[in-house]
A and B are shown apart, each in its own frame.
Chain A
């Protein structure tokens, strides 16, 4: 098992806000439809997506997701980053495609 601190230390993504560094990451999950993510994202997962809006944060918070990785160069607005910080959700960003970003997390998990 790894934590969001492990992801921070790995330096593979750009850290936008660290949230709670002690949160565990047990799985990596990829999905851009919030409706599906809400129902299927595992608790304590790292969620890789290109959907960067305020509702992404709400889903992450309510579904107990540990961190969000925004892929393909997508970004949150400053207000969303602030909100993520308050909710204790770590946010990372990367230019990598979703699969490649998820694979890097999976390599850390295994």
Chain B
């Protein structure tokens, strides 16, 4: 890979039947590029968790995936309610997801910790009432 590849996705809000489509698309692209399965798995899990968060909390958003020779960068931007206490949100088991989401098997407060666990770098930039941008890198 000599140059940077950029893929953009729009994530529809409140549609659980489509949640994961963008992550699946990225996974398939990385497979075709011949990246190792461990790296693909890390990107897939981290991006899916972020995608689900956007559907649950922010009525969707936009994801940009940048693939360079050094790393895969995922930028997840939404205009949702924002995260009031990021440290609290990063705690295992802390969740503000509604009951209907929990009944589908999500909302256990594992999303952000999983995203951190499966990436080499993660930054959350959030303003209450404005939105949240999560940037994650997986190094190649």
Contact = CB atoms under 8 A, between A and B. Distances in A.
B20 A34 contact: no
Interface stretch (B72-80, B81-89, B105-113): B105-113
Interface in B99-127: 104-111, 113-114, 117-118
Given A55-B19, A62-B23, A62-B48, A33 B108 contact: yes
- Give the bracket for the number of chain A residues in contact with chain B: 20 to 34
Nearest to A52: B105
A45 to B, nearest CB: 12
Which of A36, A39, A54 has the most B CB atoms < 10 Å from its CB? A39
B37 A62 contact: no
A53 B17 CA distance: 9
Contacts of B104: 34, 53, 55
Nearest to A79: B17
By size class, the interface of chain B is 20 to 34
A66 interface: no
Contact of B16 (A32, A43, A55): A55
Interface string B12-55: 00001101100110010000000001000100110011001000
A30 interface: no
B110 A38 contact: yes
Nearest to A50: B105
A39 B17 contact: no
Contacts of A51: 105
Nearest to B48: A62
Interface in B47-66: 48-49, 52
B108 A36 contact: yes
Contact of B105 (A32, A61, A62): A32
A63 B41 contact: yes
Contacts of B105: 32-35, 37, 51, 53, 55-56
B114 A38 contact: yes
Contacts of A20: none
7 contacts: A33-B106, A34-B106, A38-B48, A39-B113, A39-B114, A39-B118, A64-B41
